[in-house]
Amino acid sequence: MALKTGVQYEESLRKLNLKVYLLGELVSNPVDHPMIRPSMNSVKMTYSLAEDPQHEDLMTATSHLTGQKVNRFCHLHQSTEDLIKKVKMQRLLGQKTGSCFQRCVGMDAINAVDSTTFEMDEKLGTEYHKRFLAFLNMMQEQDLTVDGAMTDPKGDRGLAPSKQADPDMYVHVVEKKPDGIVVRGAKAHQTGAINSHWILVMPTISMQKDDADYAVCFAAPADAEGIFYIYGRQSCDTRKLEGGEIDVGNKQFGGHEALMVFEDVFIPWENVFMCGEHEFSGMLVERFAGYHRQSYGGCKVGVGDVLIGAAALAADYNGAAKASHIKDKLIEMVHLNETLYACGIACSSEGRRTPSGTYLINLLLANVCKQNVTRLPYEIARLAEDIAGGLMVTMASERDLKHPEVGKVIEKYFQGVASVPTEHRMRILRLIENMTLGTAAVGYRTESMHGAGSPQAQRIMISRQGNLEQKKNLAKELAGIR
């Protein structure tokens, strides 16, 4: 079976024995927990759309390993066309869910690990690439959701991993055995980890010789012995426990992050793809970051489409759609959103083939894409809040709306355009609140800043990739300087 249905995906999660803590309690059934389920629904959409013939071209691809049709999230990019379709797929899913659909990190991880292990084996004579392809074949055959785990807690940012007061601030190898390794540490901000079947762990920074134990890449089942999760809080998240639907803004879909802890987890050698080869850790980090920064030119644009539509509806319901300044703000929102999309398409179009055959994006343009994402969604969100008006954050609750006495008062005084039901106006304002300030803001606003690396991380890469010396030579030639 190379493609799962949405229903089969949901049922496969029920078979996992995940250890998840949320609000101080051990969760017995993560799939149906009201705070977690919307994020599962978002991942489920990546399976459901792959079943739809209308979206087959974007959502699926042909495996270069088996020739079978696979979900694009399990695919290695074999051309610039694949890279472009990836961005278009992510925009589509952002439009359908209005939130983070979580599978991108694993897709970006497998593409980075593939080319890195291939080149590592060529230089060092190791067999990591062969192991990785076996894992990838399983991932494609079972249509697995894989969590790409890169970010470590880091501790004191001024110290190398091996110099930390607590050595567990970065995931590291604590023991090597004839049949595998034992790892300890944690990964923070893990997008969709609780909705994943497997974990693909990578180093978070370029390691030096003294940090060789931290230069480790491996795969593990999400419910492996010794792994547990602490679910991350989101703004307004307990509204999901109230049983209503208006106040949550987007009841059906959402995202999540978690702290993933490794307590002396055993990893068999067959699932180890780097162990001490510190000189290749930087390549893996750089390539994964590039792929993931490309991703933001798709997913954030799709969510932006929903936010722009919600702002336009708010203007309609407020009776302000014809005002020239409202029209201009909506135009600006579209302009900013399409600028992000243009960056995602550009870095994909200028991709190149790596020695393994997998295509890598243009790293400079991918970092420019993500640098724009750290800024433009904030302006899009600001303009949406401007158009929505103050009622977005002072509005009475859904329970008040349904109250037999005060509900009539709310219906009267929260009315906008007379032809639009008050409830419709409240729903769209709550959606905007959710996307700019609430739970969805984690996957749009704040993640735009820190996801795939903070703004400074992109500026460092832009500095490396910008080729100032070539630009100086161009200027010298035209100025006649020899």
Q: Is 438 contained in some domain?
A: yes
Q: What is the CATH number of the domain that holds 152?
A: 2.40.110.10
Tokens, residue 455: 């703004």
Among candidate residues 10, 47, 60, 104, the one labeled active-site is 104
Is 75 known to be catalytic?
Answer: no
Residues 214, 78 share a domain = yes
Residue 55: per-residue pLDDT: 98
Residues 158, 52 share a domain = yes
Residues 335, 407 share a domain = yes
Residues 275, 306 share a domain = no
SS (H, E, C) the chain: CCCCCHHHHHHHHHCCCCCEEECCEEECCHHHCCCCHHHHHHHHHHHHHHHCHHHHHHHEEECCCCCCEEEHHHCCCCCHHHHHHHHHHHHHHHHHHCCCCCCHHHHHHHHHHHHHHHHHHHHHCCCHHHHHHHHHHHHHHHCCCEEEECCCCCCCCCCCHHHCCCHHHCCEEEEEECCEEEEEEEECCCCCHHHCCEEEECCCCCCCHHHHHHCEEEEEECCCCCEEEEECCCCCHHHHHCCCCCCCCCCCCCCCCEEEEEEEEEEEHHHEEEECCHHHHHHHHHHHHHHHHHHHHHHHHHHHHHHHHHHHHHHHHHCCCCCHHHHHHHHHHHHHHHHHHHHHHHHHHCCEECCCCCEECCHHHHHHHHHHHCCHHHHHHHHHHHHHCCHHHHCCCHHHHCCCCHHHHHHHHCCCCCCCCHHHHHHHHHHHHHHHCCCHHHHHHHHHHHCCCCHHHHHHHHHHHCCHHHHHHHHHHHHCCC
Among candidate residues 275, 299, 343, 369, the one labeled active-site is 299
Residues 267, 289 share a domain = no
Among candidate residues 257, 277, 385, 398, the one labeled active-site is 257
Q: Is 412 contained in some domain?
A: yes
Residues 201, 143 share a domain = yes
Region 366-390: mean pLDDT is 98
For the chain, the farthest-separated pair of C-alpha atoms sits apart, in whole angstroms, at: 85
How much of the chain, in percent, has pLDDT values that exceed 90?
A: 98
Among candidate residues 46, 116, 191, 374, the one labeled active-site is 191
Per-residue model confidence as pLDDT tens digits over 445-464 = 888 999 999 899 999 999 99
Is 74 known to be catalytic?
Answer: no
Residues 344, 268 share a domain = no
On average, the pLDDT of the chain sits at 97
Per-residue model confidence as pLDDT tens digits over 66-86 = 999 999 999 999 999 999 999
Cβ proximity of 417 and 318 under 8 Å = yes
Check: pTM over 0.95? Answer yes or no. yes
Quickly state the pLDDT bin for 2 (edges 50, 70, 90).
confident
* Phi, psi (rounded to 5 degrees) for 266: -85, 130
Q: Is 398 contained in some domain?
A: yes
Write the CB contacts of 208 (distance below 8 Å, at least 6 apart in sequence).
160, 278
Give the residue from 279, 294, 327 where a domain finishes.
279
Tokens, residue 5: 């249905």
Residues 344, 318 share a domain = yes
Is the predicted pLDDT of residue 1 greater than 80, yes or no? no
Residues 118, 158 share a domain = yes
Residue 137: per-residue pLDDT: 98
Is 447 known to be catalytic?
Answer: yes
Is 10 known to be catalytic?
Answer: no
Q: What is the CATH number of the domain that holds 458?
A: 1.20.140.10
Residues 82, 194 share a domain = yes
Per-residue model confidence as pLDDT tens digits over 238-286 = 999 999 999 999 999 999 999 999 999 999 999 999 999 999 999 999 9
Q: How many domains does the chain have?
A: 2
How much of the chain, in percent, has pLDDT values that exceed 70?
A: 100
Structural domain including 461 reads 283-468
Is 117 known to be catalytic?
Answer: no
Per-residue model confidence as pLDDT tens digits over 195-228 = 999 999 999 999 999 999 999 999 999 999 999 9
Is 64 known to be catalytic?
Answer: no
Q: Is 481 contained in some domain?
A: no
Is 385 known to be catalytic?
Answer: no
Q: Is 109 contained in some domain?
A: yes
Residues 135, 19 share a domain = yes
Residue 457: per-residue pLDDT: 94
Give the residue from 235, 251, 279 where a domain finishes.
279
Is the predicted pLDDT of residue 50 greater than 70, yes or no? yes
Residues 45, 16 share a domain = yes
* Spatial distance between the Cα atoms of 139 and 48, rounded to a whole number of angstroms: 18
Is 299 known to be catalytic?
Answer: yes
Region 100-123: mean pLDDT is 98
Q: Is 131 contained in some domain?
A: yes
Among candidate residues 10, 286, 385, 447, the one labeled active-site is 447
- Annotated binding residue at 191? yes
Region 138-160: mean pLDDT is 98
